[in-house]
A and B are shown apart, each in its own frame.
Chain A
Amino acid sequence: CIPVLSTYPILKTLLRRVEKVDGGLDSQDVATSLGVDHQAIVGAVKSLLALGDVISAEQRSSKHWELTGEGCEIAEQGSHEARVVSSIPEEGMPQSQLMKLAFGKVGFSKAMSNKWIRLDKGHEGGPRIFKTVEHLEDLVRDKLLLVQKGQASQLEEKEKNELKKRKLLSEVTVKSYWITKGSCFSTTITKQETELTPEMIASGSWKEKKFKPYNFEALGVAPDCGHLHPLMKVRTQFRQIFLEMGFTEMPTNNFIESSFWNFDSLFQPQQHPARDQHDTFFLSDPAQAHEFPQDYLERVRKVHSEGGFGSQGYKYDWKIEEAQKNILRTHTTAVSARMLYKLAQQEKFTPVKYFSIDRVFRNETLDATHLAEFHQIEGVVADYGLTLGDLMGILHQFFNKLGITKLRFKPAYNPYTEPSMEVFSYHEGLKKWVEVGNSGMFRPEMLLPMGLPEGVTVIAWGLSLERPTMIKYGINNIRELVGHKVNLQMVYDSPVCRLDS
């Protein structure tokens, strides 16, 4: 704040006083001696501080004795007992009349104990009071006047406490400043500029001006901007990682999928629990898919129900009706199956690396870590002669890019991969191994009916996008990350995503 002109005189006076003293002075004393309100001096101190190092001021607090409202009245008009005495005429006054006066009651008993008055109870016409002294010393008033003049120190503690007990004095804590000269002390005040203006630059006047210092303690003004969602920021990073590793993105923009591509093509038997109403969302409209590559469908039926391609199959009655059922895809592997089938239809096999990150759906019971929909990250490599060691090696490189270096693998079961491996990483914070993904080699019963060459191995892995994001951003409840109930402040405040740091 720039000091307004009306405060200039007080600023100047204050500066002159500071100039005269050697050490420093107390703002409270300045106020008393100038006869102005202390707050005016405090304002002046703040204004001077804002000018830079003209003065320095240190905040202090001290205890002061102050008159209460009643104390002020006594200092002005005398103590109640003195007023009682002075209001009694020579011929005395009926007690009842005295009691009607505002100070009557208190004053009467004090005056009695001081023996300044006497009471004639037997007086005709009722009890009557007479004064017994002509001149009196109103000590109470004298003491209060001393305090009012700022000379409370002349009173003894006992006296002050006595007056405090009578609620005439109170002890208050007063905040004041101890003012001393600053490094740039001067008694003249130069008006400081807040900001550089185009005019100053044009005229060069900035060279003569003094500029008000900035408060570097304060926060800046938040920029008026939009924000990307943290889960999508992490998705962008995972996309980037796959692209760096040479993986091509699969078209996963089909949430609705037939059971055939979601399950049957993956050699997942029709009685598998995952195909249950409890786990999968089925569609009532459009309830069924109708177009399938017929010869491929026949090979799938055969490998399930009779075996073939070196497999005994599951040996059950495979039904087309079950395969036709439309569902919300339970994994993006349905798209991988379509892509691998498409690859198998090429004239000549070419090795591929595919990836996708998209939504999948499970008809699950919802809790803090499970929603009915989540994003699946999937990587697939198809080539001649790939090994389990290759799968572990590529996983090692993938997770390295996420900043995860310690990996180990646990045997697992999955209907369409063999071997199947759960991927564990060592969590330094939790001091234990935590599961970070799933992986495996697609079964020959899945690949060979598609028409892929016998020597081709397909390795794949998957993980959810939400879990690493929750770990990255320290979120415990998935509902605080995904869906319409998220707090936008969380979105506004989320940092950039660098997965490897």
Chain B
Amino acid sequence: MPTVSVKRDLLFHALGRTYTDEEFDELCFEFGLELDEITSEKDIISREQGDTKAEGASDVILYKIDVPANRYDLLCLEGLVRGLQVFKMEAPRYRRVSPASSEPQRLVITEETTAVRPHAVAAVLRNITFTQERYDSFIELQEKLHQNVCRKRTLVAIGTHDLDTISGPFTYTAKPPGDIRFKPLNQAKEYTAQELMSLYKTDSHLRHYLHIIEDEAVYPVIYDSNGIVLSMPPIINGDHSKISLNTKNVFIECTATDLTKAKIVLDMMSFLLWENILEPTGQYVHSDYPHSISDFINRKVGISESTEHIAQLLTKMCLRSEVMSDGEQIEVEIPPTRSDVIHACDIMEDAAMAYGFNNIPRTTPRTYTIANQLPLNKLSELLRQDLAAAGFTEALTFALCSQEDIADKLLKNISETRACRISNPKTAEFQVARTTLLSGLLKTVAANRKMPLPLRLFEISDVVLKDESKGLFVYVGARNNRRLCAVYYNKSPGFEVIHGLMDRVMQLLEIKPGQGNGYHIQAADDSTFFPGRCAEIFACGKSIGRLGVLHPDVINRFELTMPCSALDIDIEHFL
């Protein structure tokens, strides 16, 4: 969730009234925002750098507000105000205007850009006036958009320019880095693109964006008709066309790998701060829903409001709505700032919000169904109860672990484990999905060495195994396998205890000792177990698991000191 930080008094001034913190928090709640923190620049500096650094910093009160991830239109003070004025305001109307005296500006996109950053859209804001606050807001909005919808400039990069310092038509092209040469923003001299890339390697801000084009053969660049470089997206603008407080006409360009996002971003940059003064070259979203939206809204929300009232609710939410002549249908205008509206259900949500979620009558669906448990979970639940009744305590261990846990520490080779590997673990604890519950139980014992002996632990849960066989409900090349694992840790190995537990489990599953349809165990070799102290368990003719005394090296590798016996069976055979 992006956070927007606004000056409280400016916000209240724009909203035309003041609120107590509680009242404002309540307003946010109804609108789906969250007043995350009430602070000031001074507070922030003093928290991060100490009281002495904070001296003299502004103590103007700031509201930090969390906004929903899809509401790019709320990323600045002006947008927030427009949103929050739901209960009083008319929906603003945006329109494209042509310049009074000249042809619209043009941005020409050349073929070369396809290889690196194929899309670009642009707009002009004319006859605007920057105040310091408006200017700050403009810069801040650009940055917020870069961090959110632009996905750190990978999808879209925004450049803003003083139109009066450059002249169109503009050209968006791509050139080898050695051929691009200009004076970048806030630098004293000209650099080639190559030089810039190494210059910005150490720049705390810009170095995060270099990777986007670094390895490309050509770099994107925008020129004006006189060959002046406007920007080298998505890295840096030229110094020549930079905007200032005195700028009257702003040229905005958005270059992108995703055209839809570029249009959204251009709309936000064009419309959010000023209304009615624009000249977009990209087209903006304008949709109406000719089917009966009021009926749709009433049915989905569970209310029965008149068409007129529904239209009023939507207008309050900045979706200008008018009941059409048939009295049934509503024409809804979606402003270009509301890129989140892509379906009638988005309009329905706005109506529900304006109505107030908490005013909607709560009803009980009459859906009649018979409940069923998943047989595997039902079996697991029943066995868990009886294992606890047999004196064993339930552990709950992680499904992810290190490769060492399931292989080296159990004296197994990783290649024989059928383990699924994670490609991007942040630490070694998340290298693989577990293929056995045993290592988790042994780690639990290790963390509880101070507890009185004997320790009797069990877990019934899933391991994950690579499995290429088809016909599974979920076919991804791996499957879960439900296991029952138990350990007995004491001064003596207690094989008879774990053996007795296995007999008890079989008794619970109504399987009698014996060959054929019964169960039996027979000596087996398994590197995890002490030689001669491991047996394979067969039930109804199938091998279902093992039991035995753990190998002393396994005991050591889990940092344990006492003998330990273990039981590990696959319970999916008993469904």
Contact = CB atoms under 8 A, between A and B. Distances in A.
B468 to A, nearest CB: 8
Contacts of A314: 260, 342
Given A271-B258, A315-B259, A289 B475 contact: yes
A243 B31 CA distance: 35
Given A249-B373, A255-B433, A488-B451, A396 B362 contact: yes
A317 to B, nearest CB: 8
Contact of A226 (B303, B370, B387, B478): B387
Interface string A227-256: 111011000100100110111111101111
B369 A248 contact: yes
Contacts of B371: 242-243, 245-249, 353
A249 B369 contact: no
Contact of A256 (B389, B425, B430, B478): B478
Nearest to A481: B396
B388 A226 contact: yes
Contacts of A441: 300, 345
Nearest to A335: B474
B184 interface: no
A229 B460 CA distance: 11
Contact of A390 (B363, B448, B478): B363
Contacts of B539: none
A227 B393 contact: yes
Contacts of B32: 410-413
A312 B391 contact: no
Contacts of A390: 302, 363-365
Given A246-B370, A408-B358, A488-B455, A328 B422 contact: yes
Contacts of A246: 368-371
Contacts of B393: 226-227, 229, 488, 491-492
B476 A257 contact: yes
Given A232-B396, A381-B365, A388 B388 contact: no
A271 B260 contact: no
A421 B423 CA distance: 34
Contacts of A291: 470, 475
B497 to A, nearest CB: 12
A485 B447 contact: yes
Nearest to A317: B258
A290 B348 CA distance: 37
Nearest to A433: B29
A289 to B, nearest CB: 4
B353 interface: yes
Nearest to B448: A488
A388 B360 contact: yes
Given A228-B388, A413-B32, A254 B476 contact: yes
A420 B352 CA distance: 11
B420 A286 contact: yes
Contact of A363 (B70, B344, B377, B426): B426
B396 A286 contact: no
Given A254-B476, A457-B300, A224 B391 contact: yes
A484 interface: yes
Interface in A254-313: 254-258, 261, 271, 273, 277, 281-291, 307, 310-313
Contact of B389 (A226, A254, A290): A226
A419 interface: yes
A226 B344 CA distance: 56
Most chain B beta carbons < 10 A, residue from A245, A261, A316, A410: A410
B374 A249 contact: yes
Nearest to A252: B374
Interface stretch (B53-61, B130-138, B397-405): B397-405
Q: Is the interface of A mostly helix, strand, loop or mixed?
A: mixed
Nearest to B68: A413
A240 to B, nearest CB: 10
Contacts of B362: 389, 392-393, 396
B422 A281 contact: yes
Given A283-B420, A410-B29, A229 B360 contact: no
Interface in B411-468: 420-426, 429-430, 433, 440-441, 443-444, 446-448, 451, 455-458, 462, 464, 466
A269 B448 CA distance: 45
A246 B70 CA distance: 35
A389 B301 contact: yes
B381 interface: yes
Contacts of B71: 413
Given A224-B391, A248-B371, A488-B444, A413 B69 contact: yes
A443 interface: yes
B47 interface: no
B420 to A, nearest CB: 6
A198 interface: no
A52 B329 CA distance: 93
A429 to B, nearest CB: 20
A381 B300 contact: no
Contacts of B94: none
A393 B425 CA distance: 41
A288 B456 CA distance: 40
Between A253, A261, A313, A421, the greatest number of chain B beta carbons within 10 A of the residue's beta carbon is seen for A253
A381 B367 contact: yes
A225 B391 contact: yes
B447 A486 contact: yes
B260 A315 contact: yes
A487 interface: yes
A106 interface: no
B16 interface: no
A227 B258 contact: no
A238 B36 CA distance: 31
Contacts of B447: 484-487
A236 B388 CA distance: 14
Nearest to A227: B393
B64 interface: no
Interface string B279-305: 000000101000000000001111100
Contact of A273 (B29, B151, B451): B151
Contact of A281 (B381, B430, B462, B473): B430
A242 B373 CA distance: 10
A484 B343 contact: no
A19 interface: no
A441 B300 CA distance: 9
7 contacts: A226-B387, A248-B370, A284-B422, A363-B425, A363-B430, A388-B301, A444-B343
Given A227-B388, A253-B480, A351-B369, 11 more contacts: A227-B393, A248-B369, A285-B421, A290-B475, A311-B342, A313-B342, A359-B462, A372-B398, A373-B399, A444-B343, A483-B398
